[in-house]
Amino acid sequence: MKIAKILIVLAAAVMLGSPSAARATIHDQESTPPAPKADKEKTADKEKKAEKEKKPKKEKKAKKKSNVPAPDEGPSATDTDAAPPAPADQLEPESTGTRVTWKQHPSFRIGSAFRMDFQAKFQEDVRDTYVGEPELARTDLHRNRIGVQGRLFKHIEYEVERELTEKELDAGRNPKSPWKDVNVDLTYIKNAQVKIGKFKIPFSLDQLTGVTHNDFVYRSLGANYLAPSRDIGVMVHGSFLKHGLQYWSGVFRHDGDNARSSRIEGGDQTVAARVTGTPFRVMTQGLGEIELGAAFAISQLSDDSFRPNGLRGRTIMTQHMFYEPVYVKGERRRWEADVDWTAGPASARAEYMGVTDDRQQQGIGDDDLPDARARAWYVSGTWLLTGEKKERPVKAAGDFLQGGWGALEVGARYERLWFDSVGGTDLPSRNPRAETILPTADRALTLGVNWTVNRFIKVQINGIREQVEDVERNPVPGGAAFWSRIVRLQFVL
């Protein structure tokens, strides 16, 4: 909690001291374009620049397909690190009155005072896995989201997004909400913007990458089961040094959708902070861009529920529970470090994260138990065979439906998610009040091909080889490794 207090004080200090800094940042932004960056925020920044540059040479730019932003390229409702859309007066200063346009998205605008962009994201899967998996639906309407985002006057941005088909919406006493990002971002102070509502807790590079921008069909195991994901809260965020240093810091009601389910209550009050930077920007010119990130989050854990309230581990596609939650109480501490490298058509990412949960009075005799611990890492790499510059989302040089080939990319990811306890003298056991938790892990290799057909459509093909290290909790008899295969069709409007 000390760290939480320090964070709040720091955030308050940033807010109080921000006007001059804000002016400086605005000046920087206007005078110097932001450094190229592979994710959404960078894309949005570039979009601003492109739009500014485009105005005097509008016709010429329009011919160049690759410069047309993809529909999911703007600040997404799913990306916590997404930058705000360009100020209305910068985008179309000459436009007045009420109008409907369709550039990136269908958009309704009233002069420069109001803007509402309509968005939709559809991801439909065909998949297969090991023989004997009875639960897996071979076809899955995986995600079908609709939403709006936009701006009110110059400095109030908003987004609302709702999932139409997600599972677990009505099961149990603590279901997931169909509402995804529902928030308002106040951008009066550029390096101390304030976001209020429901959005992603700033933790984990992979979790914060937009759902339609991922290099693989599924996020990494750590991002899905250890990182918190969305919750309701207040966050201060901004950037310094021409986006060379960015930060996000907030307080949240709980500890995110990933930590809870219909049977798991999840953590309570959470304080989280994340910082990213490009410290080698000068040194690595010509070698692409390397961005480093780190984050931590601290949550409170209660044992009010009669069911265990710890984290769970499930396999990637089949979601077989290979690690059941244990009873926890006290504090949950998360931390992570990540690196993101992009150079021309290639990219690489790596991330390591850890979580420890207190287990105060959780023994069979109400005794304190050693902390429960979960850790995860992954390394991944991608290569655009068709030569485009790696961005998220990828922009195909030639639209397939207009005579081009789209963009073809290959990728691989290797990862591990594992659970145990910190110490303990008893014999290791799987029971949720065991003093020494019997370690278990899932190790996975994902091989993938992504075909970006055009700005709307992407096809992803992944083969995933998994092996659960605890034989008894492996879904395949004998503890053998198993393959899962999936083809995902993505359509983004």
Which residues contribute to the site for other proteins (CB under 8 A)?
A: 132, 134, 303, 306-307, 327, 362-366, 429-434, 472
User: Which CB atom, from 32 or from 429, has the smaller least distance to other proteins?
Assistant: 429
Residue 486 CB, nearest distance to other proteins (Å)?
A: 22
User: Which CB atom, from 58 or from 306, has the smaller least distance to other proteins?
Assistant: 306
Q: Return d(Cα 251, Cα 465) in angstroms, integer.
A: 37
User: Which CB atom, from 281 or from 433, has the smaller least distance to other proteins?
Assistant: 433
- Residue 138 corresponds to which amino acid? R
Residue 371 CB, nearest distance to other proteins (Å)?
A: 18
Residue 416 CB, nearest distance to other proteins (Å)?
A: 23
Do residues 207 and 227 make contact, with C-beta atoms less than 8 angstroms apart?
A: yes
Residue 235 CB, nearest distance to other proteins (Å)?
A: 35
Strands 313-314 and 289-301: unpaired
Q: Cα dist. 355→241, 327, 485 in Å? A: 31, 15, 30
User: Which CB atom, from 130 or from 335, has the smaller least distance to other proteins?
Assistant: 130
User: Which CB atom, from 199 or from 327, has the smaller least distance to other proteins?
Assistant: 327
- The 3-state DSSP class for residue 411 equals strand
The tally of CA atoms less than 13 A away on the side-chain side of residue 193 is 26
For residue 424, count CB atoms less than 10 angstroms from its CB and return exposed for 0-12, middle for 13-18, buried for 19 or more: middle
Residue 361 CB, nearest distance to other proteins (Å)?
A: 9
Task: Specify which residues 391 forms β-bridges with.
Answer: none
User: Which CB atom, from 438 or from 445, has the smaller least distance to other proteins?
Assistant: 438
User: Which CB atom, from 96 or from 431, has the smaller least distance to other proteins?
Assistant: 431
User: Which CB atom, from 154 or from 307, has the smaller least distance to other proteins?
Assistant: 307
- Please name the residue that has the structure tokens 């089949």: 318
Do residues 281 and 325 make contact, with C-beta atoms less than 8 angstroms apart?
A: no
Residue 366 CB, nearest distance to other proteins (Å)?
A: 6
Question: Among residues 266, 286, 294, which one has the least CA distance to residue 357?
Answer: 266
Strands 98-102 and 330-343: unpaired
Residue 432 CB, nearest distance to other proteins (Å)?
A: 6
Do residues 482 and 318 make contact, with C-beta atoms less than 8 angstroms apart?
A: no
Tokens describing residue 241: 């040094």
Tokens describing residue 73: 């390229």
Residue 134 CB, nearest distance to other proteins (Å)?
A: 6
User: Which CB atom, from 235 or from 437, has the smaller least distance to other proteins?
Assistant: 437
Residue 363 CB, nearest distance to other proteins (Å)?
A: 7
Do residues 110 and 116 make contact, with C-beta atoms less than 8 angstroms apart?
A: no
User: Which CB atom, from 272 or from 476, has the smaller least distance to other proteins?
Assistant: 476
Mapped to the 3 state alphabet, what secondary structure does 191-224 carry? CCEEEEEEEECCCCHHHHCCCCCCCCCCCCHHHH
Q: At what angle do helices 18-31 and 2-16 cross, to 10 degrees?
A: 70
Residue 479 CB, nearest distance to other proteins (Å)?
A: 12
Q: Return d(Cα 84, Cα 132) in angstroms, integer.
A: 47
Q: Return d(Cα 279, Cα 290) in angstroms, integer.
A: 8
